[in-house]
Amino acid sequence: MSPCATHKLIAQPPSKRRNSRKTVAAGITPSQESEIRTAFDMFMTPTDPDVIPTNKVKMAMRALGLDTSNASEMSSILSTLDGEKTGSVKWEMFLQVMALKLEHDEEEGDKVSERRERELLRAFELFDSEGRGVITLSDLRRVARVLGEDCTDEDLQEMIDEAAVTRPGQVYLKDFEQVMQRAGVI
């Protein structure tokens, strides 16, 4: 962010605008609208506070934490925002497109998160074959035997003890998830 953009944010009071009807229709929260407005304000033109240069849209999107790496998607967004190629983007249009982008990215993030949770549960269930919701020494012994690993009960108990945070001697799904995160699997 350039010093000028930072200065604009600090020097100007927060927008006192109410949520527009279009924002409500787009289904975003007042907080999200405020975030979008803040990103927009960083790049607005001094002569018109409701316009930003088209060449600053990508930076405004990055300020919102949005992915701008897909060239095809960015081209489509810029065409939508500045279809007449005037070199500027109006606030209302920016708001609507960013609201849609935020919604789309959240949905994609939810799908990834749901898939990760399903995979984690499936892996946990490989150990907890009886569906008790816990992995014990006997479960770990069975998996080691199936995999052909030559582990002593002492080694296996050490693994259980290291992983068991919720209750000693038993590894619950939450504990299993932490082990997978530490191992860099998820």
What pLDDT does residue 111 have? 63
What pLDDT does residue 68 have? 87
Residue range of the domain that includes 141: 128-182
pLDDT in tens, the chain (186 residues): 333 333 333 333 334 444 454 444 457 888 889 889 999 998 988 888 899 999 999 999 988 888 888 999 999 999 999 999 999 999 999 999 999 888 877 777 666 677 778 888 888 988 998 889 999 999 999 999 888 889 999 999 999 999 999 899 999 999 999 998 888 777
Using CA atoms, how far apart are residues 80 and 41, in angstroms rounded to an integer?
Answer: 20
CA 87, 100, 42: angle at the middle one, nearest 5? 45
What pLDDT does residue 76 have? 94
Using CA atoms, how far apart are residues 32 and 74, in angstroms rounded to an integer?
Answer: 21
Are 18 and 94 within one domain?
A: yes
Are 15 and 97 within one domain?
A: yes
Are 25 and 96 within one domain?
A: yes
What pLDDT does residue 171 have? 96
What pLDDT does residue 24 have? 45
Residues 6+ positions from 181 with CB-CB distance below 8 Å? none
Looking at 77, 109, 141, the residue that finishes a domain is 109
Are 77 and 135 within one domain?
A: no
What pLDDT does residue 161 have? 94
What pLDDT does residue 84 have? 93
Within the chain, where are the H helices? 3-11, 21-26, 30-41, 57-63, 71-81, 91-127, 137-147, 153-163, 173-182
Per the domain annotation, does 119 fall within a domain?
no
What pLDDT does residue 11 have? 36
The total of structural domains in the chain comes to 2
Q: How far is CA 149 from the centre of its chain?
A: 38
Using CA atoms, how far apart are residues 185 and 11, in angstroms rounded to an integer?
Answer: 45
Per the domain annotation, does 45 fall within a domain?
yes
Using CA atoms, how far apart are residues 64 and 53, in angstroms rounded to an integer?
Answer: 17
Q: Where residue 149 sits, what CATH number does that domain have? A: 1.10.238.10
CB 119 within 8 A of CB 113: no
Per the domain annotation, does 64 fall within a domain?
yes
Residues 6+ positions from 13 with CB-CB distance below 8 Å? none
What pLDDT does residue 53 have? 95
Are 154 and 97 within one domain?
A: no
Are 83 and 175 within one domain?
A: no
Residue 109 token pair: 């993030």
Residue 24: which of 133, 99, 128, 108 has the closest Cα? 99
Are 94 and 12 within one domain?
A: yes
What pLDDT does residue 110 have? 64
Using CA atoms, how far apart are residues 62 and 57, in angstroms rounded to an integer?
Answer: 9
Per the domain annotation, does 123 fall within a domain?
no
Per the domain annotation, does 122 fall within a domain?
no
pTM above 0.85? no
Looking at 45, 78, 109, the residue that finishes a domain is 109
What pLDDT does residue 17 have? 43
